[in-house]
A and B are shown apart, each in its own frame.
Chain A
Amino acid sequence: MKNVSFKIDGRECTTEKGQNLIEAAKQNGIFIPTLCHFKHLNPLGSCRVCTVKNNGRAIAGCTVKVDAGMDIEVNTKELLDNRKAILEMMFVEGNHFCPSCEKSGDCQMQNLGYETGIRYTRFPRLFVDRVVDARPERIVVNQNRCIKCKRCIEEIRTNDGHKVFSFTNRGNQTLVSVDYEQEAKLSEKQAEHAMRICPTGSILVKGKSFGKPFGNRQYDYAKKGNIPLDDIKKHNGTNRKKKRVATASLAGCFGCHMSMLDVDLGIMDLIDVVEFNKSPLTDIKHFEERCDIGLVEGGCCNTDNIEVLREFRKHCDILVSVGECAIWGGVPALRNTFPLEDCLKEAYIDSITSEDNETIIPNHEDIPKILDKVYSNHEVVKIDYHIPGCPPNANHIWNVVKNILFDEEYSITYPEFKYD
């Protein structure tokens, strides 16, 4: 095959004529992220993460065969944002609870989330009720996590050439369905292959998940360098010597507060420059003074959460959502795919610990009312910054705070930026 030269973002590159663009870019040291492209498979063009521009025309990079003189754009501002947006669409379309996912840390989609620096999604989560199918012999298919990349559909076949997976339905109802009969014919090895090529945690082999401890997973430390972060809001207020910080935990588990204390001795340095006002750490119940920064853990599941959050917005110059629950609902939002009525029934009436013939659901004017779903904080008030993680890394939290308050240099390394 003849070698041809072409350009990526203005850089001269060479490869064999007709080479797949993703591979050609790799040969030339340029990484084009993709979730559906897979080695020998025909280009699937389904995830669209690899969208590039070829001579000004937008096209999925995995479907481009390189030819001489091509002028490819990969990392322009528009395309980088587009790539991030598509990943965000995947996050909101499914129900991706990274903290409770077996594949977390080994998940290609999650890793791309890190690499593109997604802290929160611009789109609201859709919270569609989706099936977890454990009926197959060897595998479990969790539709909450499926991004419909088609890899398994094209790649996984039985020894006699039958497909095991296929799309069913269409539009926003599209699913990857399993053929139980064919699935049963898969060997353990073939089933594990299916799990491995799945870019998310949608296909799991029974008894083979949670195999690797934290720290040993593929994407725990994978990349050197920092997470691309932008649009951080600077605090330009008081000249007070000590800055005031307020914190609160709404529908959360206090884990993020625990994590804040995880800077160990660093907390001593912090005490010199900040003081805490309203916070569970000081047990100050009501704002006594205006604060420079408010750190809010947890989302809003009841009326009290809403009121506290509004107080915070009113009394804090900068408001930061800390942790997954605050950013999009997190674990409490697992209930968002069910009607409230079902949740209350399950908790108070039909639960195994409730008394026979129980009909009462606790309700009193002193008890906050439950909202129809768990809301993320930025659906309720304006949030200035989001710190992901479950819980977020302590350094991450304080780096952000110090940057906002003191304009200190700010960088978050790859291992400090996690969704779990």
Chain B
Amino acid sequence: MDRTHLLNKLWEHQNKDGFISDKAVSKISKELKVSNVEVESVVSFYHFFHKKPTGKHTIYLNNSIISEIKGFEDVKTALEKATGCTFGEEGNGDFSLFETSCIGLSDQEPAALINFQPFTDLTPRKVNLIIDKIKNGEDVKDFSSKTISKIQHIPEGDKAIIFRHYEMGKSIREGLKFTKQEIVDKISKSNLLGLGGAFFPVGYKWQSCKNNEDDEKFIICNADEGEPGTFKDRAVLQHVPGLVFEGMILASYATGAKEGIVYLRAEYQFFKDQLEALLQEFRDANLLGKNIQGVKGFDFDIRIQLGAGSYVCGAASALIESLEGRRGEPPVRMWSATKHGFKHKPTIVNNVETLAYASRIIELGEDHYLSMGTEGSPGTKLISISGDVAKPGIYEIEYGMPIRDLLTMEMSQATAPYFVQVSGPSGECVGPDEFHRRICQEDILCGGSFMVFNRTRDILQILRNYMEFFKEESCGVCTPCRAGNFILTEKVKKMQRGLGSLEDVDEIKQWGNIIKLSSRCGLGKSSPNSLIYAIDKFKDYFNVKIAPTNEFQNVEFDMEEAVQEFDTYIKDTQL
């Protein structure tokens, strides 16, 4: 067996048996000619794979901060009551309950995946209805929620780029009028940046992959958006998936790659069948397959690879590791993927939204794209807005729009916005005095996640949720990220308990900077961002949270609390 099929093989066992048994591990490792522990290391890395049996229905409830403010705790309790199971523990034969990081449904929280079918806008009442139906033997597929996100805004006039009329194959037919180099040049000229959050120039990647001579090249679509609060890639894949495929086909045309892979995050597998069906349509229309559109030697096909639950796999290098059947650890970087990527061959890894834009740029011409936005970031951008707004959903905005405008009555209708998280937990938080900042290269970039919190929300609760997320999603390889995020989480908890002094606040900043300086990949380098920013930007809030100290600048040790456990236990053991 080829190791690149390992994830699929593991999914087979997981789906069939509800877990991956020792026997299965041992069988797979024999086929791969590796030791058991090597297969186990892969199994245990992804949180949708289980080493212990799970119930007939696995329920993954999203624990992102948006879910938390929309009623996560109540839904969690209701689920435990209705199923008789406890979260995180072995369930009964019928149900197993797990918490999971953001599942890309932030406009419809609290949301859960039951056997990977989506159930959104949950309330305790709704939970009871759902569990009753399941107990009555109904198939969750038949009554799962509609998840298609509302497109709340597109630029006026004919300006919209993504959300405009889509005609299958148009951008490819347009693209075939140009030479390969011209395609790359158009993308380079448009100044399109990678929209997964890293904002790396796309033209550069394509050119580099094109220049690297090799008989085998790959185009990978990164559909593993995991940043809490983002769901714009899901929206693109549900509204205009054809654009994404066409972007891949154009990349293949330009670089000579023969194989395309969509790395779809496991959370999105409920619409995998629709994507497969569309791929078939593409093949039938000779947009995929051999000699595409009659161009001799232009062969390209796309397959969909399902991830298995890991945030860090959204980083291109970790994604390739995952595709190759290993743990999704971002490797020590020796080469760029465009030189030695998947299977050590030149590879382009582009985000869903990026590929959609690429195909529109070819279709509409780069001048249309360049006529909008700012100099540093032309065109439009998809933003997924969630949190304390009346109209959560997808916004296609022209670059350069101030944050304030996004919060107005005409747009998302935010109520008393106070803390806005731009680009998710690894991005930057902004307060009211920065709402004039504009979303563009020149000011503040937004990867897609845009979470709005009003004045009643507790900032420490938000930050704690972020830190728990990073603590859980760190790949665990490097010390500062693995241990450092754990340490910072404990520090935030200490602040929450009201035991943080001024010194603690300074330490959070210093320690955060150590993690940022020395971590191996982008996850660790950005995980303390929000914490550091928040301390600087929300001084009023933190000043109130700082506990009084004694003459030695120490928060008085709470002896009462420290003996409480002893007192409680002793009470039950005396005569």
Contacts and interface: CB of A to CB of B under 8 A. Distances in A.
Interface of A: 42-49, 51, 58, 60, 63, 78, 82, 85-86, 89-90, 92-93, 122-124, 126, 147-148, 150, 158, 162-174, 177-179, 181-182, 303, 306, 313, 339-341, 344, 349, 359-361, 363, 369-373, 375, 379-382
B514 A86 contact: yes
Contacts of B553: 382
B103 to A, nearest CB: 18
Contacts of B517: 51, 58, 78, 82
A45 B45 contact: no
A58 B40 CA distance: 33
B476 A303 contact: no
A319 to B, nearest CB: 9
A371 B570 CA distance: 12
A86 B44 contact: no
Nearest to A85: B514
Nearest to A35: B479
Interface string B479-502: 110111111001000000000000
Contacts of A313: 552
Contacts of A122: 507, 511
B486 A46 contact: no
27 contacts: A42-B332, A46-B478, A46-B479, A46-B520, A48-B518, A85-B511, A86-B479, A148-B477, A163-B34, A163-B38, A164-B37, A166-B40, A167-B476, A171-B472, A172-B486, A177-B40, A178-B37, A182-B35, A182-B36, A344-B566, A344-B569, A359-B573, A359-B575, A369-B567, A372-B563, A372-B564, A379-B557
Given A89-B484, A163-B38, A172-B483, A46 B471 contact: no
B371 interface: no
B559 interface: yes
B35 A168 contact: no
Given A93-B483, A166-B41, A382-B554, A303 B36 contact: no
A173 to B, nearest CB: 7
Sort A-B residue pairs by CB-CB distance and give the 3 closest, nearest first: A174-B476, A382-B552, A179-B37
A371 B562 contact: yes
A89 B520 contact: no
A303 B559 contact: yes
B570 A361 contact: yes
A170 B520 contact: no
A92 B35 contact: no
For the side of the interface on B, what is the size category?
A: 35 or more
B563 A58 contact: no
Contacts of A344: 566, 569
B566 A370 contact: yes
A341 B569 contact: yes
At the interface, is chain B mostly helix, strand, loop or mixed?
helix
Contacts of B327: 167, 170
Q: Which of A122, A168, A181 has the most CB of B within 10 A?
A: A168
Interface in B544-575: 552-554, 557, 559, 561-567, 569-570, 573-575
Contacts of B64: none
Interface in B292-327: 310, 327
A396 B544 CA distance: 43
A170 B47 CA distance: 9
Contact of A306 (B38, B554, B557, B575): B557
A340 B473 CA distance: 30
B194 to A, nearest CB: 20
Given A82-B514, A163-B37, A361-B570, A89 B565 contact: no
A60 B44 CA distance: 27
B475 interface: yes
Contacts of B171: none
Q: Which of B41, B472, B570 has the most CB of A within 10 A?
A: B41
A177 B37 contact: yes
Contacts of B557: 306, 375, 379-381
Given A126-B487, A375-B562, A382-B554, A164 B41 contact: no
A372 to B, nearest CB: 4
A182 B37 contact: yes
A369 B564 CA distance: 10
B474 interface: yes
A283 to B, nearest CB: 27
A369 B484 contact: no
Given A49-B479, A382-B554, 15 more contacts: A44-B332, A60-B332, A63-B333, A89-B487, A92-B487, A148-B479, A148-B482, A162-B34, A162-B35, A170-B44, A177-B37, A179-B35, A360-B573, A361-B573, A363-B574
A340 B565 contact: yes
B476 A169 contact: yes
A176 to B, nearest CB: 9
A170 B310 contact: yes
A305 B117 CA distance: 56
B519 interface: yes
Contacts of A349: 573
A182 B29 CA distance: 12
Nearest to A182: B35
Nearest to B47: A170
A381 B472 CA distance: 33
